Structure 1
Amino acid sequence: MRPKRGNVLVALAAVMLFSFSCFCISRLTQTSNQLINCRNHILEFKEKMLLLKNKTERNRQELIKALSKIKYEMTQRKNTSVNLVEKKVNTLGKNETVSDTFEILKFFFPHLRKVGRIYPDVIFGKKRTGVSFALGISTVNRGNQSYLSQTLNSVVSRMSPSEEKDSVVIVSVADRNEDYLKYVVDMITKRFKRQLKSGSLEVISIPAFFYPNILPLTQSTEDSGKLESWRIKQVLDFCFLMLYAQPKAMYYLQLEDDIIAKKMYFTKITDFVHNGTSNNWFYIEFSILGFIGKLFKSEDLTDFVRFFLMFYKDKPIDLLLGDIFQVKMCDPGETPEKCAERNKHIRIRYKPSLFQHVGIQSSFPGREQYSKDIYY
């Protein structure tokens, strides 16, 4: 019986050993499969990472190309802009760059000394130079009323083709209201296409950084402070326009945006300047009103602007025009009578007046004006 029992124990041990071996082999097989799957996942992950790396490199190269293209285009635009600004002119018999005319502003306004280049924000036109006459019109928003279209139609339509070819009309938008600037540009492009195309008409916009910080650029109430700010800004607006126009022509005619011109006004001005008077004049008045119809020699404009900027806070520009005559043309100790006599020969008044003021709504909000030139 004992051998038989021993055989059973041996058989049982063999079965257990076999079962354990099968179990171990099964676990090893399962672990091996897991390791193979893990290896496959690792390989797949490495392949995706390689693809992502390649894609990232391609994106980086494309980004570098795009940035290089943008940089190139910006450089080209900058060079084009500089070339336009620095274009040489020889209007007054001496070489100078258009941008140089604005450099005197930095002497009077310290905040402009940090500005690299002072020039209008918007230039719409051909930037004509080398003509005999530049006609400047400064315009601002007058609310629901505008006389600019009527003024321009009167000024440009009463020139002959040859006179139009030898002149440039500059409209300076001296207003931060973008809607008004858009209105001016749209109106001019629709109604004065031929003049824009020929270069006889331009539109510029004065940059906001030009004005000193002490000067409010918007007026909402008609009190003394607001009125004073409006007058100060008007002087600065005219100065900027005069500097822009100076290198373009031999003579500069100051107009406003609410006037009309007489028929053949340009012919009469040209004849009077060339034939009706000597060249020894300070300025010529073709209207007795304010700053309308005042003709200057372009070579003298810088002196006028310097004087206006010294006293721009003190008086309106038409009164400063009288003061500069007293300072420059009257000798110390000279009697008023003698100075007044010289005044007749160098501060000339043309009659009848060639321009009439037609605006009623003032550029100062809420004010109306009915001034008329009695000699028109």
Structure 2
Amino acid sequence: MLCWHSNHYQLQLRDLEATIRTKEEDIALLSQYIIKQQRSQGIDVIGEAEPGKKASLLKRLSLDIRKNLFNNLTGETSLSPSVAFPTTFDFWPHLLNDPNSLRPALLISYNRSGVRIVFGIITLAKKNQSYLCDTLNDLITKMTEEQQKQTLIVVFIGEKKFNSVLRIWKLVEKNFKRHLENGLIDVIAPESSYYLEFAHDSMKLAQRCTKQNQDYVYLMAYARKKGAFYIQLDDNILFKTDIWNIVDKLIITDRNYPWIVMHFGRMSKSLCCTMFETKRLPYLIGFIQMFYYETSANELLRKFVQYQDFPTESLFGRKSRYRKLKYRPYLFKRMTIMKKEKDNLKGELRISSN
């Protein structure tokens, strides 16, 4: 009898926890909705409101909250029943601690979209020397004006301290003001509350992998509706050749074959120089969200491809296979700082083939 009561109370506790989680999510969504209602739409703004986001937020609220909200606003007494599909808050409940957790701390954009290729570059504050400007300049100068019109470069600043975010933004603005104003470059940075906080510092490797995975998710989520193809880059590379034309030829050549990812460089723990169709990014984003604290982004991508790389029957009875394509020779060189052992010089620049 005692055991039955214990199980009964445990079930009640789980129900209450689920209810609390739903209410917390409602509060976060309503807070975002109110913020977006209060903000006017603009071009070059921080935390810009986008068309359609308000309706999307409302649809994700629980049914009882939506009923009360719509009854107060419109006087309607009934709504069609809805299904509570999982959201980002279910995978990352720490986002519920701040209603602004998914809102950019900084967003500089002229709303360019519908391009052919989106380049995403994650950058961080560097102690010694930053190569972000070298990477951007090299990428831009290797494109024609017509190619630039079909391109968007998104610079993602993965820093929690806003002073560091502003410092990097000012560097980009100083060196690439014309490209910012013509819409070629967007700059975005998340709120510090977007990142998962660890209780202690004993898991530095896990923290680094977790944060990097969160960076990829945020950047891909922003870029996925901007163009047809997405290429992930690091902030310390130089291209050996005209990557735009090579990518364009590969897209045309392989358009009749199903592929998930193309690699243009040696695989490491990052996703540098990998290309995806943006229509596949939501699946990869969801996969990373579920396992973001388990392992590196490269390993997650390998598993993601592995789970989808199996023979499937087509409508005509033929078997097809998703492919992971690798381009040779590698298309980029990585810039690194090599410290000298015999003296205290800051270091020398080494451009290594990767």
* TM superposition shift of 1:113: 4.0
Contact 1:252 / 1:296 at 8 angstroms: preserved in 2? yes
Q: Distance in 1 between matches of 2:296 and 2:276?
A: 18
Q: Relative to structure 1, is the Cα distance of residues 289 and 83 closer, same or farther in structure 2, using a 3 angstrom cutoff?
A: closer
Contact 1:98 / 1:247 at 8 angstroms: preserved in 2? no
Q: Distance in 1 between matches of 2:170 and 2:192?
A: 21
What's the counterpart of residue 181 of structure 1? Answer: 165
Q: 2:50 aligns with which of 79, 86, 92?
A: 86
Q: Distance in 2 between matches of 1:195 and 1:361?
A: 32
* TM superposition shift of 1:228: 2.1
* TM superposition shift of 1:83: 11
* TM superposition shift of 1:156: 1.5
> Given the alignment of the two structures, is residue 107 of structure 1 paired with residue 90 of structure 2, yes or no?
yes
Q: Distance in 1 between matches of 2:351 and 2:174?
A: 31
Contact 2:206 / 2:295 at 8 angstroms: preserved in 1? no
What's the counterpart of residue 195 of structure 2? Answer: 211
Which is worse superposed, 270-279 or 140-149?
270-279
Q: Relative to structure 1, is the Cα distance of residues 314 and 111 closer, same or farther in structure 2, using a 3 angstrom cutoff?
A: closer
Render the CA deviation track for 1:251-284: whole Å, top value 9, x for unaligned: 1110011111233111111121123553411111
Pairwise mapping of residues 122-133 of structure 1 onto structure 2 (< 5 A)? 122-133=106-117
Q: Relative to structure 1, is the Cα distance of residues 198 and 349 closer, same or farther in structure 2, using a 3 angstrom cutoff?
A: same
Letter in 2 for 1:225: M
Q: TM-score, normalised by structure 1?
A: 0.64
What's the counterpart of residue 76 of structure 2? Answer: none
What's the counterpart of residue 24 of structure 2? Answer: none
Q: Relative to structure 1, is the Cα distance of residues 203 and 225 closer, same or farther in structure 2, using a 3 angstrom cutoff?
A: same
> Given the alignment of the two structures, is residue 354 of structure 1 paired with residue 331 of structure 2, yes or no?
yes
> Given the alignment of the two structures, is residue 147 of structure 1 paired with residue 108 of structure 2, yes or no?
no
Contact 2:47 / 2:105 at 8 angstroms: preserved in 1? no
Structure 2 counterpart SS, 1:284: strand
Tell me, which stretches of 5 or more residues in structure 2 are unaligned?
1-34, 60-85, 313-319, 340-349
Q: Distance in 2 between matches of 1:195 and 1:282?
A: 31
Q: Distance in 2 between matches of 1:275 and 1:83?
A: 39
Contact 1:288 / 1:373 at 8 angstroms: preserved in 2? no
> Given the alignment of the two structures, is residue 156 of structure 1 paired with residue 128 of structure 2, yes or no?
no
Q: Distance in 1 between matches of 2:172 and 2:47?
A: 26
In terms of fraction of residues, the more helix-rich structure is 1
Render the CA deviation track for 1:307-335: whole Å, top value 9, x for unaligned: 11221112110111111112222479xxx
Q: Please identify the structure whose Cα radius of gyration is greater.
A: 1
Render the CA deviation track for 1:109-145: whole Å, top value 9, x for unaligned: 1232465562311111312111111110011112122
Structure 2 counterpart SS, 1:300: helix
Q: Relative to structure 1, is the Cα distance of residues 299 and 309 closer, same or farther in structure 2, using a 3 angstrom cutoff?
A: same
Q: Distance in 2 between matches of 1:361 and 1:105?
A: 40
Q: Relative to structure 1, is the Cα distance of residues 112 and 353 closer, same or farther in structure 2, using a 3 angstrom cutoff?
A: same
Pairwise mapping of residues 1-376 of structure 1 onto structure 2 (< 5 A)? 78-80=39-41, 84-87=48-51, 104-113=87-96, 116=99, 118-214=102-198, 225-276=203-254, 278-290=256-268, 291-330=271-310, 346-360=323-337, 372-374=352-354
Q: Relative to structure 1, is the Cα distance of residues 80 and 276 closer, same or farther in structure 2, using a 3 angstrom cutoff?
A: closer
Contact 2:41 / 2:50 at 8 angstroms: preserved in 1? no
Tell me, which stretches of 5 or more residues in structure 1 are unaligned?
1-73, 90-95, 333-341, 363-369
Q: Distance in 2 between matches of 1:258 and 1:111?
A: 31
The percentage of aligned residue pairs carrying the same residue is: 24
Q: Relative to structure 1, is the Cα distance of residues 237 and 79 closer, same or farther in structure 2, using a 3 angstrom cutoff?
A: same
Q: Distance in 1 between matches of 2:329 and 2:193?
A: 41
Letter in 1 for 2:119: L
Q: Relative to structure 1, is the Cα distance of residues 351 and 176 closer, same or farther in structure 2, using a 3 angstrom cutoff?
A: same
Contact 1:147 / 1:359 at 8 angstroms: preserved in 2? no
Structure 2 counterpart SS, 1:128: coil
Contact 1:292 / 1:355 at 8 angstroms: preserved in 2? no
